[in-house]
Structure 1
Amino acid sequence: MSPDKPNPLAQTEEFLIVRLIPNIFTTVGMCIGLTGIRFALESEWKSAVVCVLLAAFFDLVDGLSARMLKATSKIGAELDSLSDAVSFGVTPTVILYLWIVSITKSESSYLLGWYWVPFIFYSSCCVLRLARFNVTSRSPSDSDGKPSNYFTGVPSPAGAIILLSPIIFEVNMQRFGISGIELFRPGAICLWVMLVSVLMVSRIPTISLKSIKYKISYGKVIFVLVGVILAAAVVVREQWLSLAFAILFYLFSIPSFAIYLKSKKKT
């Protein structure tokens, strides 16, 4: 081959850097999720929870950017699943378990060993849910052959945030001067961990952005925007309280959405 002619093999190996943006978001989210473990080791519980929230944000952004840039790929899907396993399967378990250890210093190492069992169960369920999602996403159709507009079970980012709700509610109680640390018994928290684990691998339909198809007239758009601005202002002012209400709203939506879908199929 003449040295003046371009190598066709080299041309096929060229890759647009913009197609790496979703994978960059995924990697950044995983790094932030791992940083949450470091904050937990330093007993910085609020910072640890924020890391999980930021990891969930980057998990949302990487999917949106991949679809917008048409940069979906097999390696990107696998990287996203592995990142989710770390950020939402491992990090929350370490954070919440270390928090339990910090509030039950008088407990024996024998009991602490048993407290660790539900967290292993949670991480296993998270990985199983991600594996099931990978399989079903390759053929995302329900029994009627139509694309599914909802999640099956609680998604791993939502499950991780719900798992950390004892810390979130304890932060809010401390802010209002309520001493509720005795409410967070290790046994009750372990049952909570088991419940969240089962919700993740269950067949219960849970709401997604695709499920929201409510239409409004053009005349009401301005009112919706004003409402969003007011809601954003409240969230900025009361971040932790807003997060607690968001968790309660999501938990309430799980049975409500399931009942709604069941009644819709009957009609």
Structure 2
Amino acid sequence: MTDGTEKRESSLPLLSLVPNLVTMLGLCFGLTSIRFTFDDRFTFAAGLLIFAALLDGLDGLLARRLNAASPFGAELDSLSDFVCFGVAPAMLIYNFGLEGLAGLGWLAALFFAICCCLRLARFNVAAKEETNQSGSFTGVPAPAGAMLGIFPVTLWLAGFADMRQVQILVALWAVMVGALMIARFHTFSPKSMKISRDNAVYVLLAAAIVIGLMLTRIWLFHVAASLLYLGLLLWSVLRQKRAT
């Protein structure tokens, strides 16, 4: 009896490391994305950031399921998020379509990265003070901001348009997304979405379509998901204005 108890206690710390290992794997994806960005291999750089965003959602889910949440894991996740969703996207956007603007392009990339840092710092403070009880975010979350930030890259990868022909639009886009991350309006959170049993079949069907697109047409999926998110964001803001 005692041996079994000791065995369970000794295995618990190893199990609690799983979310942190997933976080570090996402960090590796973000750092490797920067490396591919410097080599002008934008396909791999953008793809790794998308996978880093998926892992960011997975580590939090694992921490809750395994009851392995800890202050150390929270800090590690925040530092990883800044690299993956602040620094790496800024480098990708700059190398892809802002170098021709010289100093202005670099300022736009800096603005994006700094806004991500401010967004994460504000989120950390709110989490520690437990002030966010509504199930919503204030401003666009860092992973979503990163996915919106690299939209000009994936728009080109999907074969729709090459925004490098009008680099000022890329700079304005980076600044706009950065501003959305530090904005004070409330945005929806997936945690607040409640799915009834009647709609479960449709949700599963939508999930299957999403997974299929990700596996076969990842750039088309990213473009469609970005446009859908912007539409939902606009709807959320308009709904708040009507409520007030």
What range is the shorter-chain TM-score in?
0.7 to 0.9
Q: 1:182 to 1:207 in 2, by over 3 A?
A: closer
- Residue 138 of structure 1 aligns to a residue whose secondary structure is helix
Among candidates 29, 40, 44, match of residue 26 of structure 2: 29
Query: For each residue in 1:18-39, what CA deviation from the matched residue of structure 2 results, as whole angstroms up to 9, or x when unmatched?
Result: 1111111111111110000111
Q: What is the aligned counterpart of 2:135 among 143, 146, 149? A: 149
Aligned Cα root-mean-square deviation (Å): 2.3
Residues 40-55 of structure 1 mapped to structure 2, 5 A cutoff:
40-55=37-52
Residue in structure 2 matched with residue 126 of structure 1 by the alignment: 116
Opposite residue 44 of structure 1, the aligned amino acid is: R
Q: CA deviation at 1:223?
A: 4.9
Alignment of 1:78-227 (within 5 A): 78-100=75-97, 107=100, 111-141=101-131, 147-173=133-159, 180-181=161-162, 184-217=165-198, 221-227=200-206
Deviation digits for residues 52-97 of structure 1 (CA, Å, limit 9, x no counterpart): 1111111111111111111111111111111111111100111111
Kindly name which structure, 1 or 2, has the bigger radius of gyration based on alpha carbons. Answer: 1
Does 2:48 match 1:67?
no
Alpha-carbon displacement from aligned partner over 1:175-220 (angstroms, at most 9, x marks no partner): xxx6x43664121111111101110000122121122124243xx5
The structural deviation recorded for 1:43 is 1.3
Task: State the one-letter code of the partner of 2:28.
Answer: C
Give CA deviations for 1:150-187 in whole Å, capped at 9, x if unaligned.
Answer: 111001011111100001111122xxxx6x43664121
1:229 aligns with 2:208: yes
Segments of 5+ residues of structure 2 without an aligned counterpart are 1-8
Cα distance change on mapping 1:210 and 1:34 into 2, 3 Å: same
Task: Give the structure with the larger helix fraction.
Answer: 2
Query: Partners of 2:21 and 2:167 in 1: how far apart?
Result: 38
The amino acid that maps onto 1:243 is H
State how far apart, in whole Å, the 2-side matches of 1:32 and 1:182 are.
Answer: 25
Count of aligned pairs: 236
The answer to whether the 8 Å contact 1:166/1:184 transfers is: no
Asked if the contact 2:97–2:163 (Cα under 8 Å) also holds between the matched residues in 1, the reply is: no
What are the ranges of 5 or more consecutive residues in structure 1 without an aligned counterpart? 1-11
Other-structure match for 1:8: none
What is the TM-score of this pair, normalised by structure 2? 0.88
Separation in structure 1 between the aligned mates of residue 142 and residue 114 of structure 2, nearest angstrom: 12
CA distance in 2, matches of 1:228, 1:62: 19
The equivalent of 2:6 in structure 1 is none
2:139 and 2:171 mapped to 1: Cα distance? Answer: 20
Q: CA deviation at 1:13?
A: 10
TM-score (norm 1): 0.81
Q: Does 1:260 align with 2:243?
A: no
Same amino acid, percent of matched pairs: 36
